[in-house]
Structure 1
């Protein structure tokens, strides 16, 4: 951000009063008015910076061809005198596409190499989405293990959601200074235990436009340019479904997650874990799970723990929940 100096501001008023470029007039006949003090201030701010920093190149970018011209073919007075001593250090461009081509020329990249580079950032992408899931509970569509499409409210165990890159398209690569960056459209797959009308294993995909480096290091991390809406996985049979755990194992995972966050599990978390037996048994029908421990539904012998912030006079409600 370049602050405009008092000198540039005063010169802007002077040139507007005298209709000196890049200031001028607007309108016709009696409605003609003098304008352009701001254009002069913008122009001279860039010129002053170039003069004060002789070791740098200044790129002036504007689609305002009427006032600033397109550059290159010569400027009207007094604009020509403004840049006469700057030479090639003052580059005038007319749009951001020209700037990109000038500062970041395209380079060739192999599609397989680009995919391999992005797959190295899968853990980063997974952690980013887990943070989003923690604060955003917008419903999303999933494909269940038996092929049905349903709406999920959230992931039951976000840390256990498997994230993998499905495909990479529209790959472009640019060189910016000494580094190269790739921009591409990536489609990711999420598979995990989702909370809907019941607890159900589900899979969905997310398309993102992503910028990522061809270098490694903390200073070279990907950037999400745009994210689209989650869509159900196209084919349930093509999903590599993880094995179903016993409800007791899910309950233990819920307790561990709550402990790691320094809190007690909420009643909702405990209930969802305890009541998952039927939907998971239904999903496991016809699936070979002989290599895994036998399914053992969890039996609660004690009253559900109070969630953090629950006061003692709410205990009768807990009793009603136990009975239900």
Structure 2
């Protein structure tokens, strides 16, 4: 574990070479690089401490301007928001370093130590100081206790407060007793570089970087990243198909990518693995959304970025450290224009392949329709013949029921017969033919915009499957007709009462009436259950 004090990385530039080396060390997974929470707060404070002063200076200038103007000057100065700026730098440095949290116990011990002005704190003229140093010191000791297998290299040039690492003053010697061999002090950042890395020569680094960045996996990663991050409501400048500058807002699909150049390559060997940082320029060409008309057009642009990567086999894709806004290619740059022509040919080849697949799919759809339509029509004819025979039988039954009380059912059956006759007069073959023609026309229309091929083909396949569903209404009607006939049979076969049925049989056993005299009680009980005498 490498732990930095604030003085060793003060005002560290996130895009600078020192930050790149820290990223390489962490990315290699051979070393952990961290700062205590107290150091993170100091780094953020050092970046933000001038903000209130600068903001007030602008307000003072505006006030002086108001004093000489007869009108109120317009300005867009936002209110002071110091915490917002601090949060920004906390996030930036939190992505570079691992952060060791400072516990409440550490903070209490630190200020207790400062109150006594004992090392690593000290006494000034009339006060004690060094509470932050004590918090850093106790954070390191707490980490050592919680991670007994770790060896800490503490990078600080504050040898006055933290000593030289050989001997510690009281009570620091008591604080670290038993862990002295697990703590090493380094004086500055250069000692970190010399101890943990080995710089690779520029020629070897550039050759390795160029080979890796031109590989297909890396180009695919850059293409996908372009789709994810290059989007702007105000638009970017690019080069259209006629070599005229156009505006575009975002990629509609992953563009074709090729490497233009690699510069500022630095390599460091860390535990046998070589890690590089480099500035890479990419040429992108693909279908993008037009900024003005919200239409699609082919656009090319140049995208500059800084990347961190390793050539070790099995390592993950390069890490994008920083990117710039894309720019139009330079039409006077012959190598760039040659690469652009190659990208256009590549895109044309992809489009031709899509078109060929489309035609093959169209033939498959036509064969499917040829195979599926005749059986459907045969099934329809068989079903209609069965319905016709059923209708004749229903007509005879209906005539017999005209004078019966079931006229309501007969009327319903007549309505069903009329609906069935109308259905027979309207064959679905014409509907099927029209539907197929519409699907075929839509399928042919896909040849020009290949980017919509997959979605439209899926819709056509769904439509073809839906052709079989055209017979569903007829089958539903047949079921309704069958249900009606079942009710009709019940109504016509039920026994009807006759005049002879109305007279009861004299020999039949009659049920006893509950009101017979023989069954009546001689006395009724009182409400309380006792006998009641008149």
For normalisation by structure 2, the TM-score amounts to 0.41
Partner of 1:103: 196
The structure that has the greater radius of gyration is 2
Hey, what's the Cα distance between the residues in 2 that align with 1:200 and 1:10?
Answer: 63
Partner of 1:312: none
Q: Cα gap change, 1:34/1:174 in structure 2, threshold over 3 Å: closer, same or farther?
A: same
Partner of 1:251: 449
Deviation at 1:141, TM superposition (A): 1.0
Q: Cα gap change, 1:231/1:3 in structure 2, threshold over 3 Å: closer, same or farther?
A: closer
- Within-5 A mapping of 1:132-281: 132-133=229-230, 137-155=233-251, 157-159=252-254, 161-194=255-288, 195-197=290-292, 200-217=297-314, 220-235=316-331, 238=337, 239-240=340-341, 242=344, 249-256=447-454
Aligned: 1:115 with 2:313: no
Check the 8 A contact 1:106/1:174 in 2, yes or no.
yes
Deviations 1:112-141 (A, max 9, x none): 2221112221111211222234x6555111
Deviation at 1:229, TM superposition (A): 1.3
* Higher normalized contact order (CA 8 Å, seq sep 6+, divided by chain length): 1
Check the 8 A contact 1:62/1:95 in 2, yes or no.
yes
Deviation at 1:97, TM superposition (A): 5.4
Q: 1:89 aligns with which of 176, 179, 182?
A: 182
Check the 8 A contact 2:205/2:266 in 1, yes or no.
no
Hey, what's the Cα distance between the residues in 1 that align with 2:198 and 2:177?
Answer: 28
Q: Cα gap change, 1:110/1:139 in structure 2, threshold over 3 Å: closer, same or farther?
A: same
Aligned: 1:78 with 2:174: no
Hey, what's the Cα distance between the residues in 2 that align with 1:80 and 1:171?
Answer: 45
Check the 8 A contact 1:60/1:90 in 2, yes or no.
yes
Check the 8 A contact 1:118/1:212 in 2, yes or no.
no
Check the 8 A contact 2:205/2:276 in 1, yes or no.
no
Hey, what's the Cα distance between the residues in 2 that align with 1:231 and 1:42?
Answer: 46
For normalisation by structure 1, the TM-score amounts to 0.64
Hey, what's the Cα distance between the residues in 1 that align with 2:193 and 2:448?
Answer: 50
Hey, what's the Cα distance between the residues in 2 that align with 1:205 and 1:250?
Answer: 28
- Within-5 A mapping of 1:37-76: 37-62=131-156, 67-68=161-162, 71-72=164-165, 75-76=168-169
Q: Cα gap change, 1:22/1:180 in structure 2, threshold over 3 Å: closer, same or farther?
A: same
Paired residues in the alignment total 251
Q: Identify, as 1 or 2, the structure richer in helix.
A: 2
Deviation at 1:15, TM superposition (A): 1.3
Stretches of structure 1 that go unaligned for 5 or more consecutive residues are 261-324
Q: Cα gap change, 1:44/1:258 in structure 2, threshold over 3 Å: closer, same or farther?
A: farther
Hey, what's the Cα distance between the residues in 2 that align with 1:152 and 1:225?
Answer: 24
- Within-5 A mapping of 1:290-309: none
Hey, what's the Cα distance between the residues in 2 that align with 1:94 and 1:249?
Answer: 68
2:198 aligned counterpart, secondary structure:
coil
RMSD (Å) for aligned C-alpha atoms: 3.4
Stretches of structure 2 that go unaligned for 5 or more consecutive residues are 1-98, 353-444, 459-534
Hey, what's the Cα distance between the residues in 1 that align with 2:245 and 2:451?
Answer: 26
Check the 8 A contact 1:119/1:165 in 2, yes or no.
yes
Hey, what's the Cα distance between the residues in 1 that align with 2:456 and 2:299?
Answer: 23
Check the 8 A contact 2:446/2:453 in 1, yes or no.
no
Aligned: 1:125 with 2:222: yes
Check the 8 A contact 1:191/1:204 in 2, yes or no.
yes
Hey, what's the Cα distance between the residues in 2 that align with 1:2 and 1:193?
Answer: 46
Hey, what's the Cα distance between the residues in 2 that align with 1:182 and 1:94?
Answer: 25
Q: Identify, as 1 or 2, the structure richer in strand.
A: 1
Q: Cα gap change, 1:180/1:254 in structure 2, threshold over 3 Å: closer, same or farther?
A: same
